[in-house]
Amino acid sequence: MTKTIICCALTGAQQGKDANPALPEQPSEIIESGLAAWRAGASILHLHARDAQGKASSDVETFREIVSGLKEAGCEAVINLTTGGAVAGLPLEDRIRVVPELKPDIASYSVGGGSLLGRYDEDAGEWRGDRFVPLFSSHRELERVAKIFQENNVRPELEIYHSGMLNNIAALKERGVFDEPLLANIVMGIPGETTKATVKNLLFMVEGLPQGTEWLVSAIGARNHFRMLGAVVAMGGHVRVGLEDNVYIAPGELAKSNAQIVEKAVRILTDLGVDIATPAEARTILKLTRS
């Protein structure tokens, strides 16, 4: 039985210390948080960068500082850099620069046109977080970016927010712009035009992936984050946890660190009889060739 990979998403592009003071923003904080998450059992670290004010940034040198700091400290985790940040308004061309310039093991790649986010707040009588997040404007643009990944030997983590994106994956795979095995991240639970975090929806999404795809789930929010773990591993998937996706360790209790969240995920998975993959084993599972 294949071991389960734990990916830890350290900081994201949206929430800041107002949501949880433990959320790392500056490079030194992200490095420290990443090292602790790796030591706690995460074999992949998903990294965003922030500027001096804590806002999402696509600055390549900030990413380079974070990656170098982790490696110099002996971190063995697989590095997964974001090309996201569209929700924060970062331009696509700036976001994808980390792929050719830093050549990480993995980088995220959202395979769709975009999503309408937001929810209606009955108490306030208005829509909250109501906006459209544009990703790609055409299939031609999707293919162009996929080729940048392929040319630089960077594994794209295919971010899937709703079932229509499965069609894009199939079309791009047919074009030969993905190397095997495909790696997909099924993002569930964001309010709006995304997939709700239910087992039924997860089964549908997984069955729509190309055969042989390695996949993980980002279950967003405190209500979804830990309770989806059992279903994910029962279906043969990998898991993603971390302060980017959820700032709580228990109902009403803010997490003290990314490491604390990873430790809880390890306990849950271990109690379920799941073997946790080391970074080296994660590289083997995903057939990553860069050391």
Convert the pLDDT of each residue in 49-59 to its tens digit.
999 999 999 99
Residue count (the chain): 291
Is 195 within a domain? yes
Does position 111 have pLDDT exceeding 80, yes or no? Answer: yes
Task: Determine the distance from the C-alpha atom of residue 106 to the mean position of all C-alpha atoms in its chain, rounded to a whole number.
Answer: 10
What are the two backbone dihedrals, phi and then psi, of residue 9, each rounded to the nearest 5 degrees? -95, 110
**Would 1 be classed as within a structural domain?**
no
Per the structure, the complete domain to which residue 141 belongs is given by 6-286
Res 1 pLDDT > 90: no
* Residue 155 placed within a domain: yes
Q: Which of 191, 272, 260 is nearest to 228 (CA)?
A: 272
Q: For the chain, what is the domain count?
A: 1
| Within a domain: 174 | yes
- pTM of the complete model: 0.96
- What CATH number did the domain enclosing 124 receive? 3.20.20.70
Residue 291 pLDDT greater than 60, yes or no: no
Report d(CA 278, CA 42) in Å as an integer: 8
Question: Has residue 271 been placed in a domain?
Answer: yes
Asked if residue 162 is part of any domain, the answer here is yes
Note the pLDDT tens digit of each residue in 207-221. Answer: 999 999 999 999 999
CA 169 to chain CA centroid, nearest Å: 17
For residue 189, pLDDT beyond 80? yes
Is 32 within the bounds of a domain?
Answer: yes
Q: Are 33 and 258 in contact (CB under 8 A)?
A: yes
Q: How confident is the model at residue 183 (pLDDT cuts 50, 70, 90)?
A: very high
pLDDT of residue 220: 97
Question: pLDDT, tens digit, for every residue of 142-182?
Answer: 999 999 999 999 999 999 999 999 999 999 999 999 999 99
Q: Is residue 120 part of a domain?
A: yes
pLDDT value at residue 105: 96
pLDDT at residue 110 above 60? Answer: yes
